[in-house]
Amino acid sequence: MLVFDGLDEMDLMGPFEVWSHAAKRTELELALVGLDGPVEVTGLNGLQFKAPEGLGTPDALFVPGGGWLNRAERGSWAEARRGVMTARIAELAPQLRFISSVCTGSMLLAEAGLVKGQAVTTNRNAWADLEAFGADLKKNRVVDDGDLVTAGGITAGIDLALHVVEREFSAEVADGIAATIEYTRDRDLYVSPKVATGN
C-alpha cells in the first residue's frame, strides 16, 4: 500500500482494515510503504502515521487518491506533477500481478500510462479526467480488469478490498471479513470479459 502526503485517509484505511483481517486468515502479506523508503505521512485531513519501509519490489500494489480534484499542493495531483511516483509505478507495473487503486489513485495509474484501453473507474468527479487518458471508463463502484482493479470514491475502497480478497482467496473469507467489520457489501462490480474467460 503506497502512501504519500495528502492522500485521503479513508482511501487507505478502508482497504487497510480489510486486508489486515485477510492477513490473519490467509497468506496475504500487507505493508504500508513510502516511495523511497520509510516515511512519515500527513493525510488530506491531518491524520499522521508512519510507513515503516520503502516500495521495493512487491507482488501487487495499491494506490490511494486524494488532492486531485482540488489540485492540492499535496496528494495525487501533486505527485502526478512531480512525476517520480508515476515513473516508478510504470517501471514496476510489468512485474506486478495486479495494481489496485481507490478514488483518484487511478489518476496516478493514468499518468503512469497504464489505463489506455483498460476498464477502470475513479471518483465520479474525475471521470472526464480519466477518459482523457483513453481509459474505458466504467461507472461501477469496483472495476476488475485483471491486472488493474479500481474503485470509485473513498468508501468504495472497502468493496474493492473485499473483492480482491474474494478473487485471490475465496468468497467465504471475504464475507467473513465483511461480517467481522460489520459492513454490508455493495456488489456494484464490473468484471472485464477477459477476466471472466481467463484470457
What would the pLDDT profile of 55-87 be if each residue is shown by its tens digit? 999 999 999 999 999 999 999 999 999 999 999
- Assess if residue 2 is contained within a domain: no
Residue 199 above 70 pLDDT? no
Quote the pLDDT of residue 197. 76
Q: Which domain holds residue 34?
A: 9-196
Using one digit for the tens of pLDDT, what is the confidence trace for 5-51?
Answer: 999 999 999 999 999 999 999 999 999 999 999 999 999 999 999 99
DSSP 125: G
Task: Give the active site residue among 103, 148, 162, 191.
Answer: 103
Count of the separate structural domains present in the chain: 1
Instruction: Kindly report the CATH number assigned to the domain that includes residue 124.
Output: 3.40.50.880
pTM (2 d.p.): 0.96
Distance of CA 182 to the CA centre of its chain: 22
- Assess if residue 4 is contained within a domain: no
Q: Which residue has the cell 496528494?
A: 75
- Assess if residue 163 is contained within a domain: yes
- Assess if residue 1 is contained within a domain: no
Residue 196 above 90 pLDDT? no
Quote the pLDDT of residue 194. 85
Active site (annotated) includes residue 103: yes
- Assess if residue 14 is contained within a domain: yes
- Assess if residue 169 is contained within a domain: yes
Using one digit for the tens of pLDDT, what is the confidence trace for 146-182?
Answer: 999 999 999 999 999 999 999 999 999 999 999 999 9
| Strand stretches in 37-147, DSSP E | 39-42, 48-51, 53-54, 60-63, 98-102, 119-120, 136-137, 142-144
- Assess if residue 153 is contained within a domain: yes
- Assess if residue 106 is contained within a domain: yes
Mean pLDDT of the chain: 97
